[in-house]
Structure formats: structure tokens, C-alpha cells
Structure 1
Amino acid sequence: MLNHTGGLATYDQAAEFDDPEQYSKRTYTPQQLIDEAERLPRPERGRFAYSNTGYILLGLLVEKVTGHELSAELDRRIFRPARMTRSYLPTRWDGIRGPHATGYHLPTGADPSRPGSLRPITRLNPSFAWAAYGVVSDARDLNRFYQALFGGRLLSQGMLTQMRTGVATPQAPVFPRYGLGLESIGLSCGEMWGATGSIPGYETLSFADATGERRMTLSVNVQRNDPGAVRMLLGAIDALNRYFCGEPYRLPAGAEAAQLRRP
């Protein structure tokens, strides 16, 4: 489930989740999300196929094993040890705490060049994301997370090695491998590990070097899936490449712009 080779459909591909302005107002239980996935065709087991359903199942497993809510375990095992004071997993619909940017999304079929086509969608009920992508955080806290994780403060070195042992993805060479809850980005000076993330209103890229001493997080307050989004993501990858490698990013020979899309 952590490296997305378990042959699980991703529930957010169901028709139920076509319009974020509708589903973001509803309340879902983890079981309802799993049920949505079970109605979809399953990908081939053993090959990489990104699935948010796996994270929902893992969240339920954490609660079963510990006897505590997932939000409490994240706080105890990750947020507090990593000094992530602005991070939490919402348990109810109460908006984003503290100052934050307004999030926008581009409705399917909308023309991004027309004024007003990007619609605000900051307030949403995060139950549809839960253990898969429901944590609220900011760039400072994400940088602190990778400093703590890769610096050995959260897991043993052996477990870190397992996390960064990745399977090949269709996004190679731009995002060539996916490990255990981590993905790699192929920069001009080599691979860096971290993750990309997307939720209606926001997109994030966060990566670090092997020790976690150098890390960079970019947060964009818009989610769009039209072809123009590739240019936006290319700009973000260029910023990462300039920081880690000291030079502009260029797509490797043979790579396609479509590979800039998230898994």
C-alpha cells in the first residue's frame, strides 16, 4: 500500500469526486471511501498505480493497532517530535487555522485565460482526504518534517533505507521512483526524495537531500489539471533544481511534458 503496488483502485477517480465544489461539502467515512474504490476496476497488482485508497486503509490500521485516533498518533509520533507546530489532521469541518492563502481551483472545461475562471475553494470538508491527503501544514513545517525524518529523529536508518527503495513509476525520469510513502524527483544533479501533494485549492512540492539538511518546499494556492498546469509545475521544478543543483532545470532527453503531472 505504501508504494502503490497493491492493485488498489484510487477512490477519488470515482464519478462522485468529479466536482470539488460538491464533494468538498459532504462528509465521508473511511469505509465509504473504500466502498467507492471497490466499485472501480483494479489496476494490475505488482505494478505502480497511485492509490489514495491504500492510505485510507493504513490510517484505519493505525487506529486498530494503537486504539487511538489517527490525528492523535500523527501528533504524538510525528508533529511534536519534528516541532511541526502548525500541522494537524482535521477531525471536523472548521476551516484552516491561522493566516493562510485563499485556495483556487479550475473547474473542468473552464478556460483559464478568462477572468474569473479560477474559483475560490478554501473552505472544504476534508473528510474525503483523511489519511490520504488531509493533513493541514505549511512550508516551514514540511521542511522541519524532512529535516527530522532524514536526520534520523523519527525512524531508524534501516527504515529510511526501505522508504527510499523505490519502484519505477510512469513519471520517470521526472519523478522516477516511489518508495514507501516517498517519491523521488530526478534533478540534473541526481535524485532527491520527498513528495508532491494536491488538494482542491492547493498544490505542494517538498523535497530534501539525503541528510535533510537542505530542503525546499513550494506551495501553490491553485489546483488545475488543464494542459497549462504543466508550465506552472515546470517552473516549480526549475526552482527546486536551481536550489539543489545551482542551475536551470531542463527536461531530460526523451521525457514528455505529461510526465510533470503528479502520479
Structure 2
Amino acid sequence: MPEPYIHGCDVSPPGEPQDVSELVSASGSWACGSIVTTPAEPGAFIRAYGGPSLASAGTRKEQLGFLPGGASEPAGPGTNAAGAAIFRYTTRCGELYGHTGNTPGYTLLAASTPDGARSLVFAVDTQVDKAVKARLPARLRTVHEDFACALPGDR
């Protein structure tokens, strides 16, 4: 793969972590943005996509027609609701719009404030989901929410 990219690992104790970066094609993975990029790129994208600047008013209205209880895998921080290719994460510090994803060796959260002014990108170089690592998703959601609360700016 072209540089730079995050090297994803399979972590299956008691074995040593193994680089799985080129095991699965990035073209068919939900978390493919975390593979062939740097954190700055999904940050810029999610500020535009989660904020009001990328889509028309009509598209934005459809995008933000959230259904309570919908969540990506792994679930994002706080209470999740599903919109059109975007999720609303209601945290103790406010709302974020974004998306998570995972694939072998990768897990990613990209989220922005609704105005698109601030964003966070949180990449983990291993797959985090309930089927693979049962207790890790809940711990990761707590860390995600702590990062969301640390975003600079007025809330």
C-alpha cells in the first residue's frame, strides 16, 4: 500500500501482535478510511460532512433525520441515533455527528460538532467489536466520550 498508512494489527493473546495491513483489501471495509490515510484527512472530511457546509439544505435535512437506537459497529460514544450515512452521538458534553467502523486490524471513530467547527478522529490499530473482544467496546466508548468532552471551544 502507498505510504503513509496506519499498520493494523491482529492482537490475539497470548500470541504476539501480527501486522494485517495488507491481509484485507481496503476497498470493501467499513473502516477503510483508517487504513490508507492519516488522522487529518478523516478529520477534515467529517467536519465538512458532519457540519453544514458539504450538503445542500434538502440533503442535510434527510441526513439528519435520526432514528433513535441505531448504531454503527462498534457503537459510538453516548447515546446513538442513525441518520442517512451519519450517526448522532449524544454525550454528556453535547452532540457530535460522525461514524465508526472496523475491520481486521482497524477501528475508527470520526466525529464533528454539528457546526463542523471541531472534530475528533480516534484510530485504534486493532479490530474492536463485541464478537472479537467482548469487553473492549464499552471501554473504548468511555474513552471516546472523554475525548469528545475535551474538544476545545464553547459547549
TM-score by length of 2: 0.75
1:102 and 2:7 correspond: yes
Residues 76-155 of structure 1: pairs in structure 2 closer than 5 A = 95=1, 97-106=2-11, 110=12, 112=13, 114=14, 116=16, 118-126=17-25, 129=28, 132-135=30-33, 136-149=36-49, 150-152=51-53, 154-155=54-55
Q: Distance in 2 between matches of 1:104 and 1:238?
A: 24
Aligned residue identity for 1:122: S
RMSD over aligned CA atoms reads: 2.8
Q: Distance in 1 between matches of 2:110 and 2:143?
A: 14
1:242 and 2:147 correspond: no
1:186 and 2:93 correspond: no
1:229 and 2:136 correspond: yes
Alignment length (residue pairs):
143
Sequence identity, in percent? Answer: 20
- Larger Cα Rg: Structure 1 or Structure 2? 1
Residues 1-263 of structure 1: pairs in structure 2 closer than 5 A = 95=1, 97-106=2-11, 110=12, 112=13, 114=14, 116=16, 118-126=17-25, 129=28, 132-135=30-33, 136-149=36-49, 150-152=51-53, 154-169=54-69, 174-224=78-128, 225-230=132-137, 231-243=139-151
**Residues 100 and 127 (structure 1 numbering): CA distance in 2 closer, same or farther, change over 3 Å?**
closer
8 Å contact 1:187–1:245 — kept in the other structure?
no
**Residues 126 and 142 (structure 1 numbering): CA distance in 2 closer, same or farther, change over 3 Å?**
same
- Report Cα offsets for 1:150-193 as digits up to 9, x if no partner: 242x3112211221111122659834200000011121132211
Q: Distance in 2 between matches of 1:200 and 1:194?
A: 21
Aligned residue identity for 2:9: Y
Give the match's secondary structure for 1:237: helix
Higher normalized helix content (fraction of residues): 1
Q: Distance in 2 between matches of 1:115 and 1:234?
A: 27
Structure with the larger RCO, 1 or 2 (CA within 8 Å, 6+ apart): 2
**Residues 187 and 208 (structure 1 numbering): CA distance in 2 closer, same or farther, change over 3 Å?**
same
Give the match's secondary structure for 1:146: helix
**Residues 147 and 127 (structure 1 numbering): CA distance in 2 closer, same or farther, change over 3 Å?**
closer
8 Å contact 1:188–1:245 — kept in the other structure?
no
8 Å contact 1:175–1:183 — kept in the other structure?
no
Kindly state the Cα deviation for residue 127 of structure 1 after the two structures are TM-superposed.
6.6
Give the match's secondary structure for 2:117: coil
8 Å contact 1:102–1:120 — kept in the other structure?
yes
Q: Distance in 1 between matches of 2:90 and 2:98?
A: 11
TM-score by length of 1: 0.47
Gaps of 5+ in 1: 1-94, 247-263
